[in-house]
Amino acid sequence: MSRSQNRVAVLHGVNFDVLERRDPEIYGGMSLSELEYRIAGWAREVGIEPTFYQTNSEAEFCGYLHRLSGSADAAIINAGAWTHYSYAIGDALAVDPVPAIEVHLSDVENREDWRRVSVFNGLVEARVCGKGPDGYREALGLIATRLGTAGG
Ligand code: DQA
């Protein structure tokens, strides 16, 4: 029998290593570790096994995406500013794709115009933004339904 499909890669891009030092009005003041701790709890509730990855290196992020299906059944991706201009990262996600949800803590639709653009358009199944950490919970719910993990 094949193993259950419940591995979800939660990927953060550039500047998330200093999340707690970014504008608290926009990003809430939490650290990436705190955010990941919350995500891990929500993941357990819906039968998902998360793995976390963050880098400030675009090349490393692309490399991770090139091998995504080997380590994950689905992905939650918050690539930070790369979202808006890195065609390289968009192309990399298309190399070895798994079902993916794009998440942003802030409401990128209602900030600067350049933040409305996403290189993941057409490559992700949904985009959740402007809901702070709860956006990851929503994304996990969507993935749990997609992978059929929630019912055990
Ligand atoms: C972000 C939104 C991006 O526009 C920004 O560059 C980030 C964080 C978010 O989670 O709201 O780094 O992805």
Distance CA 45, CA 144 (A): 10
Which pLDDT belongs to residue 150?
77
CATH 3.40.50.9100 applies to domain 7-147: yes
Task: State the Cα–Cα distance between residues 120 and 126, nearest whole angstrom.
Answer: 10
SS3 54: strand
The domain segmentation of the chain, as residue ranges, is 7-147
Looking at the DSSP bridge assignments, the partners of residue 129 are 104
pLDDT at residue 2, as a whole number: 58
From residue 115, how far is each of 29, 82, 109, 133 by CA, in Å? Answer: 20, 10, 7, 19
Question: Can 66 be counted among the known catalytic residues?
Answer: no
* Tens-binned pLDDT, residue by residue, of the chain (152 aa): 456 899 999 999 999 999 999 999 999 999 999 999 999 999 999 999 999 999 999 999 999 999 999 999 999 999 999 999 999 999 999 999 999 999 999 999 999 999 999 999 999 999 999 999 999 999 999 999 999 997 64
Residue 106 Cα to ligand 1 midpoint, Å, equals 6
Which pLDDT score is estimated for 4? Answer: 83
Task: Choose, from 12, 53, 87, 104, the residue flagged as catalytic.
Answer: 104
Evaluate the CA torsion angle 45, 48, 22, 87 in order and state its sign.
negative
